[in-house]
Amino acid sequence: MISKPYIKLKNVSKVFGQNPDTVIDLVQNNIDKTELQNDYNHVIGLQNINIDIPKNKIQVFMGLSGSGKSTLIRHLNQLIRPTSGEIVVNNVNVTELNKKDLINFRRENFAMVFQKFALLPHRTVLSNTYFGLQIRGVKSPELENTAKYWIDKVGLDGFENYHPNQLSGGMQQRVGIARALANDAPILLMDEPFSALDPLIRIEMQDMLITLQKELKKTIIFITHDLDEALKLGDNIAILRDGKIIQSGTGQDIILNPYDSYISNFTAQVNRGKVIECEKVMKKLSKDAFSKVTITKETKLEEAARIMISNNINEVDVLNSKKKYIGTVYLNDVMASIINPIDEP
């Protein structure tokens, strides 16, 4: 099941300032961000980033503003060049590409969605959507047909001839997503795509992305400052602070084992029942016959509690994919885990 990394960052550092090369050794040797800023007048964007990103999954980078998350996503398609380190995408070291090869590599591999939409204000929804295809030299009937398909897909059927300024924020970002998907690039870079939207619209857009991803199976790099959004969307989550990755793992890993108090401050606010899976509170009994209602070990605690309460039972059996019994979950344990941190078995 472990797929080999599709995108690999090796010791990537980025320093902003007059003469980054003069201080890069210090940065690689883990100098503190404020020390570099005060004593050397250079700013750290990224510091020794190492991460493997698997194919066809959603990798979330989470951090507050200034943590380097937007800088990091721009390194993948080289909108920002690293000061040192190596970035390998689909077996190509993108840091070594020359200008022309980089342009071609971007056309074939990346599509990007932006926080402030970055639509072309002079173009209609239709021609905004086919912008990426037009750049790649796709010709007329295919251009419009592909754009039309994706406009329908993101629910903007009938708005083809509107201009972006005639649409609401949520609709504009749907255009942004249609533009990205029309490109049919294997990698989708999303830089805080839903941060500028109202809470309700944001949830709607998250659900749309989840639905689309089930069908498309793209490699998505998703930037957010919202842990709830990260947990909802991310197959893997990396948390950034001051240009460094301080913890990386699945949402459940991060909730259950926050690396330090900085992260536990975030996770304390989270609805644990939506993240933790039943496997963590399952008790293994020896049983032959199992209960009428069953769940899987991936079922989230909240869902298990809902099932038990609606069926008026206090315990429910867990089956694996081959319908074999693997354990039992008790309502008490479930509720306790939703409220309190659980001890690792």
Q: What residues line the site for another protein (CB under 8 A)?
A: 77, 79, 103-108, 110-112, 114, 116, 118-122, 131-132, 134-136, 163-166, 183, 189
Query: Would you give the DSSP letter of residue 90?
Result: T
The two structure tokens encoding residue 259? 């690396």
Question: Which CB, 49 or 185, lies closer to another protein?
Answer: 185
Q: Which residues pair with 222 in a beta bridge?
A: 60, 190
What is the three-state SS of 40-75?
A: HCCEEEEEEEEEEECCCCEEEEECCCCCCHHHHHHH
CB 274 → another protein: shortest distance, Å?
33
Which residue type occupies 216? L
Return the closest-CA partner of residue 280 out of 260, 264, 304.
304
CB 124 → another protein: shortest distance, Å?
10
CB 261 → another protein: shortest distance, Å?
36
The two structure tokens encoding residue 144? 């419009």
CA torsion angle for 265, 269, 272, 274 (degrees, to 10)? -130
CB 110 → another protein: shortest distance, Å?
6
CB 126 → another protein: shortest distance, Å?
14
* 62, 256, 314 from 345: Cα distances, Å: 28, 12, 22
For residue 218, give every residue at least 6 positions away whose Cβ sits within 8 Å of its Cβ, in sequence order, or none: 56, 185, 186, 187, 188
Burial class (CB in 10 A: 0-12, 13-18, 19+), 10: middle
| 3-state secondary structure at position 330 | strand
DSSP labels, 154-207 = TT-TT-TT--GGGS-HHHHHHHHHHHHHHTT-SEEEEESTTTTS-HHHHHHHHH
Question: Which CB, 70 or 248, lies closer to another protein?
Answer: 70
CB 77 → another protein: shortest distance, Å?
6
Return the closest-CA partner of residue 186 out of 263, 277, 90.
90
